Structure 1
Amino acid sequence: MDFLQFLSALFGWVYTICWSLSFYPQAILNFRKKSTAGTTVDFPFVNVLGFVAYLVYTSAFYWSPVIRHQYALRNDNHTPTVAFNDIAFAAHAVVLTAILNTQYFIPSLWGVDRATGRKPSRLMTGVASGCMLGVAIIVFIVASVPADADPKTAWAWLDVVYAISFVKLVVTVVKYAPQLLFNIRNRSTKGWSISQILLDFTGGVLSIAQLGIDSYLQGGGWSGVMGNPVKFVLGNVSMIYDLIFMTQHYILYRDNGSAKSGEREALLERGEDDRRLD
C-alpha cells in the first residue's frame, strides 16, 4: 500500500467516525433536557429516509455484480469509488436516526414531555412522499425495458440505484433548512447541538478528500468523482450548512442566553413556535 492509498483509507475511517459520532450529541442533549425544544422534528424525520437511501445505494455499488458491471460500462471500465466504510457509516446512521426519531414521535420512551413531540411540516412530508414516488416511477420504467437492451445506453438497474442516491441528495439539501430558519426566527441556537455540526463539518472535509484521492488513484480524473455524485454533493452541501450553523452559534447568536432567550425557551416547550413551521 503506497502513501496515497494509506491516506485514503485513513481519511475514510476518520470521516466515518466523525460523521457517526455526530448523531449522538443531539440525542444526548434532548435526553438530558428531557425536551426536544429548540429543534424541529423535520430534521430527524427526513434524515432517516435519506440514510436508508444512502445505505441501499452504497450496498448496491459495493456488493452487486450487476450494478458494478453496469457502472463499469458507463465509466470507462472504472469501478465505483464506494468504500466499505461508506456502508458502515450508512448502517450506523440508519440506526441512530431511527432512535432520534423516537424522541420526537414516542417521547414517553425517553421521559420527554409529550408536548414537545411534534408532527413534521407539510413541506417535509411532501419531500419524503415525492422521493419515494420518484423511485417507484424509475423502477417501473426499468422493469419495462427489454431484457436484451444495452445497459450502457438504455435504462438499467443502475439508474434505479442512482434514483435512490438522489433521494439522499434531496434530503441533504433540504433537511437542515427548517432548523436554520427556526434559529433565525428565534435568534438563538439553544437546544440545537453545535457538537454535531463540528463533527459533521470535519467528516465532510475528509469525505471529499478521500473521494478526490480515490479518483486520482484510478487515473479517471473527474469520472471517479462524478460517478459517485452522492458522496461529492453530500460532503459539500453539508459543509455549507455547517458553516452557516457555526456562524449562527459562535457569531450571530452567541450572547442569546438572556432572559429573552429563557422566555423563548418557554414558548418552545409549549410547542407554540413549531406551529409556524407548518
Structure 2
Amino acid sequence: MSAWNSVPLHVSYEALGWFAFVCWSISFWPQVILNFRRKSVVGLNFDFVLLNLTKHSSYLIYNASLYFSSAIQKQYKHKYGEKEMIPVAANDVAFSIHAVLLTAVSLSQIAIYDRGSQKVSKIAWAIVSVAWTVATVCFFVALHNHHWLWLLSIFTTIQVTMTVVKYIPQAVMNFKRKSTDGWSIENILLDFSGGVANYLQMAMQSIDQSSWVNFYGNIGKLLLSLVSIFFDILFIIQHYVLYPERKQRKSETTPEYDNAAKSSDPTLSQNV
C-alpha cells in the first residue's frame, strides 16, 4: 500500500468511508422494517430488489477481490502505477457484505408477505440471466489467461448497469401510482447521504496523492455514487413534491385504500 502524505486527509478519508458505510448499511433497514410491520410488500417494486441483489453481489466480488488479492493488486499497480493506492477500503467490503445479506432478506420477505398482484417482470429476469451468463463466460476466459483485473472490470460494468437500471422500475411505479406509499423515504435519505460521503472519500484520497487515478481506476465506485445521488434526488422530489405524504395519509382514510393497494396494476413491475 502507498503511504498517505497528510494525516488530516487520511483521517478524513477513513471517517467519510465509515460514515458512508453506516448510512448505506442503515438505509436497507427502513424498507425491511416497513415490510415487516405491514406484513406486505405492496408498493415495493420486485424488479428493483432482484436487480439490486445482482448489483451488490457484483460490487462485493469487485471489492473483496481487489482488497484481499495480492495478485489483483499487483495487476492494478502495473496498470495505473506502482505508487498508486488501492481504491478499495475496508468499509467498502463491509458494506458490500451487509448489502447482499439485507437484499436477500428483502427477497425472502417478497416470498412470504402479501404482494397483491405484483411479480418480477420477465425483462428483469432476462437482464439478470444475461449479466450472470456474461460473468461466468468471462470468468473462464480470465481463468485461462489470469487477467483478473480485466474480469473485475466486467463486474464493474455489471454493477454500474444494474445501478442505472434497478431504480427505473420503482420510479416508474411511483409515477403510475402517483404515490410513494410502501417505498421507504428513509432508505433514500440515508442512501443520498452515503453517496455524497462516498464521493468525498474518493476526493480525499485524490487530493492527498495529487492524482485522479483513484476516480478512473475505480470508475464503478464513482458512478455508484453519482447515479445513486441522481435517483435519490428523483425519489425525494416524488415523495415530498409530486406525491407528498399528506396526500397518502388522506388516501389511507378511504375504505377503498387497502383494496386499491392490493389490486395494483400487475404491469407496474414490467417497466425496466
Q: Which residue of 2 aligns with 1:93?
A: 99
SS where residue 175 of structure 1 aligns? helix
C-alpha distance in 2, partners of 1:142/1:91?
24
SS where residue 247 of structure 2 aligns? coil
Q: Which residue of 1 aligns with 2:259?
A: 266
Q: Which residue of 1 aligns with 2:50?
A: 45
Shift of 1:102: 0.5
In structure 2, give the amino acid aligned to 1:161: L
Shift of 1:215: 2.1
Give the TM-score, by structure 2 length.
0.90
Q: Which residue of 2 aligns with 1:275?
A: 267
Q: Which residue of 2 aligns with 1:132?
A: 132
Shift of 1:31: 1.0
Shift of 1:29: 0.6
Shift of 1:261: 8.8
Alignment of 1:235-246 (within 5 A): 235-246=225-236
Q: Which residue of 2 aligns with 1:70?
A: 75
C-alpha distance in 1, partners of 2:12/2:41?
39
Highest relative contact order (Cα 8 Å, sep 6+), 1 or 2?
2
Between the aligned residues of both structures, percent identity stands at 34
C-alpha distance in 2, partners of 1:274/1:264?
17
C-alpha distance in 1, partners of 2:186/2:228?
14
Contact 1:104 1:117 in 2 (8 A): no
**Moved segments of 4+, more than 6 Å:** none
1:35-55 per-residue CA deviation (whole Å, 9 max, x = no partner) reads: 111121111111112111111
C-alpha distance in 2, partners of 1:72/1:193?
41
1:62-119 per-residue CA deviation (whole Å, 9 max, x = no partner) reads: 11011000000110222321000100111111111111110102x1xxxx33x43843
Contact 2:180 2:243 in 1 (8 A): yes
C-alpha distance in 2, partners of 1:176/1:211?
24
C-alpha distance in 1, partners of 2:253/2:194?
31
Q: Which residue of 2 aligns with 1:79?
A: 85
Q: Which residue of 1 aligns with 2:197?
A: 206
Larger mean CA deviation between 118-127 and 157-166 belongs to 118-127
Contact 2:119 2:266 in 1 (8 A): no
C-alpha distance in 2, partners of 1:70/1:117?
49
In structure 1, give the amino acid aligned to 2:156: S
Contact 2:46 2:269 in 1 (8 A): no
1:231-259 per-residue CA deviation (whole Å, 9 max, x = no partner) reads: 10000100000000000101111142234
SS where residue 273 of structure 1 aligns? coil
Q: 1:71 to 1:165 in 2, by over 3 A?
A: same
In structure 2, give the amino acid aligned to 1:41: F
Alignment of 1:107-186 (within 5 A): 107=112, 112-113=113-114, 115-116=115-116, 118-145=118-145, 156-186=147-177
Structure 2 gap segments, 5+ residues each: 1-5
Contact 1:186 1:264 in 2 (8 A): no
SS where residue 220 of structure 2 aligns? helix
In structure 2, give the amino acid aligned to 1:248: Q
In structure 1, give the amino acid aligned to 2:19: V
Structure 1 gap segments, 5+ residues each: 148-155
* Selected match of 1:227 from 214, 217, 225: 217
Q: Which residue of 2 aligns with 1:193?
A: 184
Larger mean CA deviation between 1-10 and 186-195 belongs to 1-10
C-alpha distance in 2, partners of 1:209/1:87?
18
In structure 1, give the amino acid aligned to 2:141: I
In structure 2, give the amino acid aligned to 1:79: M
Contact 1:57 1:165 in 2 (8 A): yes
Q: Which residue of 1 aligns with 2:237?
A: 247
C-alpha distance in 2, partners of 1:4/1:30?
40
CA RMSD between the two structures: 1.9
C-alpha distance in 1, partners of 2:17/2:253?
40
